[in-house]
Amino acid sequence: MKEPHRWKKGERSPNPNGRPSKPEAEILRQALEAAKKKNGGKHLIEHAVEQAYKSENLCIAIMKKILPDKSVTEIQGNRIIVTFEEKPKDAA
């Protein structure tokens, strides 16, 4: 059985400053913005796509992240049915 919340509406919040910030995310955003300015305004994603055209391995890695895995191919007469299935979030 879950314990009821300690904080009750109308009482002073036990965390008046709100949820703690995640400094790593903000540091990453700043680094990406600095790199974008340094590289003529090119976003990291644009750069990765350009590099994927040059490297087959990088292209495959990016496509595996974008497209779901093919799970079933079924041929019925002149029709081909391909069923895709997303991997669970915890799968690698």
pTM: 0.47
Q: Which residue has the tokens 């055209």?
A: 53
Write the CA distances from 34 to 17, 25, 58, integer angstroms: 29, 14, 24
Instruction: Say which amino acid occupies 88.
Output: P
**Neighbour-count burial of 58, counting CB atoms closer than 10 A to its CB (0-12 exposed, 13-18 middle, 19+ buried):** middle
Q: pLDDT-derived band of residue 46, with 50, 70 and 90 as boundaries?
A: very high
Average of per-residue pLDDT across 76-81: 78
